[in-house]
Amino acid sequence: MFGQNLEVQLSSARTEDTTVVWKSFHDSITLIVLSSEEGTSELRLERLLQMVFGAMVLLVGLEELTNIRNVERLKKELRASYCLIDSFLGDPELIGDLTQCVDCVIPPEGSLLQEALSGFAEATGTVFVSLVVSGRVVAATEGWWRLGMPEAVLLPWLVGSLPPQAARDYPVYLPHGSPTVPHRLLTLTLLPSLELCLLCGPSPPLSQLGAQLLERWWQPLLDPLRACLPLGPRALPEGFPLHTDILGLLLLNLELKRCLFTVQPSGNKEPSPEQRRHLLRNFYTLVTSTYFPPEPGASEKAEDAGHRSQLPRACYLVLGPGMGWQVVALQLGPRQLLLLLSPQSPTHGLRALATHTLHALTPFL
């Protein structure tokens, strides 16, 4: 506040063991985050604040946050967003909060599910339909994929963070597309942790999406739907040909704003899934802020045309001491691949392994 009076913008500060980042939104709400986690980057905390504000808009609406008439009432209304915000602050299995890309999975029979989804969307007269397993998108209509950020990330995340229910009719605002007029998020549970999500206006009523409609479109696909259940943590179908040295991977398509994230491609080797997630998240932050900066804007493109040819296309780190795990990142066109590898993987073969894995995954994302 002292800086603001002198027209100085201060966005972060550090103490010996804590990083503090704050951000004002619409000259109305200021969010402050403190982290004492070792190696926490400002990029990660800035993106966390963007997601937290997005979650507040999603469930309360922008009008309530920018035109505050009654602070006590707003506090009560914001309680609806606590569960979603808490899921960002814990140890999330998803990574869309950091990458700003939608967490996806690769279903074994994707074309069948996509066909059924399109038919179901037509039958219900809804453009925005998706199939979500544990907060990750299995398949979606073109309309759903056209949703802007951050709602494209927040809606599946919200569904994954809510307690299980057979059906829901949930009012939501779209922080990018419709921040002041609410839509309805309808969810129907097909199997435990596998839900059908529809984003719509006043119609159709939830009662119209009865057993008859679900049986017609989804009963014949019971086996392909069951095959989606293990994809929550795995993201890739059983038997997908990945090198045995790979302990975790993150694939991003920056054009489509979608990502694949798994720390369970191989057995029960060390490190634990929590550690793997932590290592890949930290490496992503390092790579994004240091080696593979986001695409520059049009004005910068002209100035940097010569410089861009010098930007790195790959990097790796050997984590230590005493650990020996390796992380490698590769950028090829709109795709970035980050791998966590076991210590026995030879350093001279990292780039070839990453390139081979990226080519194997490219048809799916």
- What pLDDT is stored for residue 240 in this prediction? 87
CA distance 273 to 278: 9
CA distance 353 to 272: 22
Here the tokens at position 146 are: 């056209």
Residues contacting 299, CB < 8 A, separation 6+:
none
Task: Find out whether 156 and 135 touch, Cβ atoms under 8 Å.
Answer: yes
CB-CB neighbours of 92 under 10 Å: 19
- What pLDDT is stored for residue 308 in this prediction? 55
- What pLDDT is stored for residue 41 in this prediction? 87
Residues contacting 351, CB < 8 A, separation 6+:
314, 316, 328, 330
Predicted TM-score (pTM) of this structure: 0.91
Strand-pair partners of 198: 129, 186
How many Cα atoms sit within 13 Å of 169 on the Cβ side? 10
CA distance 249 to 80: 33
User: Tokens 């910068």 map to which residue?
Assistant: 300
Here the tokens at position 5 are: 């009076």
- What pLDDT is stored for residue 291 in this prediction? 87
Q: First vs last Cα of the chain: how many Å apart?
A: 45
pLDDT digit string (tens) for the chain, length 365 residues: 788 889 888 888 999 899 999 999 998 999 999 999 887 889 999 999 999 999 999 999 999 999 989 999 999 999 999 999 999 998 899 999 999 999 999 999 889 999 999 999 999 889 999 999 999 999 999 999 999 999 999 999 999 999 999 999 999 999 999 999 999 999 999 999 999 999 998 888 888 887 778 888 999 999 999 999 998 888 998 888 899 999 999 999 999 999 999 998 766 677 889 999 999 999 999 999 888 876 544 334 444 555 555 778 899 988 876 678 999 999 999 999 999 999 988 989 999 999 999 999 999 98
Q: Which amino acid type is present at position 231? A: L
Residues contacting 247, CB < 8 A, separation 6+:
263, 265, 266, 269, 271, 276, 325, 340, 341, 342
Q: Tell me if residue 152 falls in helix, strand or coil.
A: helix
CA distance 70 to 75: 9
- What pLDDT is stored for residue 10 in this prediction? 84
- What pLDDT is stored for residue 250 in this prediction? 97
- What pLDDT is stored for residue 299 in this prediction? 37
User: Tokens 């240091």 map to which residue?
Assistant: 290
| Pure H helices in the chain | 2-5, 42-60, 62-66, 71-78, 82-89, 96-99, 110-124, 142-145, 151-161, 211-218, 222-226, 231-234, 273-286, 298-308, 350-361
CA distance 328 to 345: 11
